[in-house]
């Protein structure tokens, strides 16, 4: 098991959370399985940016982002060098420290 630490997020996990995750699990799935309602408007199909996260520690342990993921990340609010889509970033064997950005771009939600 690998430790995944979510930094505090005002709405989704105000206290932050540390969880043990099986390698191969996506950051998005790990969040959802532990009660952190990380948005995933495209149902984890790598078609939006709502599950955008910033990996502050352990970024190098993740497999490289695909070209499709990189193209989408260019549209994410608050893009950082260590940004990934939570649905695409699979936990490996190194501890990860993850920040959920304060805002996401969810066109479907914003149009209602």
By the 10 Å C-beta count (0-12 exposed, 13-18 middle, 19+ buried), 76 is classed as buried
Range of the domain at 7: 2-110
Residue holding tokens 């709405």?
Answer: 11
Which of 41, 32, 44 minimizes the C-alpha distance to 6? 32
Q: How far is CA 47 from CA 41, 58, 61, in A?
A: 9, 24, 23
Binned at pLDDT 50, 70 and 90, residue 107 comes out as very low
What is the count of structural domains for the chain? 1
Residue range 36-89, pLDDT digits in tens: 999 999 999 999 999 999 999 999 999 999 999 999 999 998 999 999 999 999
| CATH number of the domain where residue 32 is located | 3.10.20.30
- State residue 109's pLDDT score: 46
State the pairing for strand pair 2-6/17-21.
antiparallel
């Amino acid at each position: 098991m690998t430790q995944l630490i979510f930094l505090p997020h005002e709405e989704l996990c105000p206290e932050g959370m540390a969880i043990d995750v099986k390698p191969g699990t996506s950051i998005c799935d790990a969040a959802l399985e532990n009660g952190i309602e990380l948005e995933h408007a495209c149902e984890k199909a790598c078609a939006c940016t709502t599950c955008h996260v910033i990996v502050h520690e352990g970024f190098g342990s993740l497999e490289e982002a695909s070209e499709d993921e990189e193209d989408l990340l260019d549209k994410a609010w608050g893009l950082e060098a260590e940004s990934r889509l939570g649905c695409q970033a699979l936990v490996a064997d190194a501890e990860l420290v993850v920040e959920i950005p304060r805002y996401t771009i969810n066109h479907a939600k914003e149009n209602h």
